[in-house]
Structure 1
Amino acid sequence: MKRQKRDRLERAHSNGYQAGLAGKNKENCPYQSTDAKMEWLGGWRDAINDRQMGLFK
Structure 2
Amino acid sequence: MKSQKRDRLQRAYVQGYKVGVTGRSKDYCPTQELNFREQWMSGWREGRGDQWSGMTGVSGIHKSPMAG
Q: TM-score normalised by the shorter chain: which range applies? A: 0.7 to 0.9
Q: Quick one: distance in 1 between partners of 2:13 and 2:31?
A: 11
Sequence identity, in percent?
38
Give me the CA root mean square deviation.
Answer: 1.8
Q: After TM superposition, where is structure 1 displaced by more than 2 Å over at least 4 residues in a row?
A: none
Q: Quick one: distance in 2 between partners of 1:31 and 1:19?
A: 14
Spell out the pairing of 1:1-57 with structure 2 (5 A cutoff).
7-56=7-56
Gaps of 5+ in 1: none
Helix, strand or coil at the partner of 2:36: helix
TM (norm. structure 2) is 0.69
Whose helix fraction is larger, Structure 1's or Structure 2's?
Answer: 1
Q: Quick one: distance in 2 between partners of 1:32 and 1:46?
A: 19
Gaps of 5+ in 2: 58-68
The offset of 1:46, in angstroms, is: 0.3
* Rg (Cα) greater in structure: 2
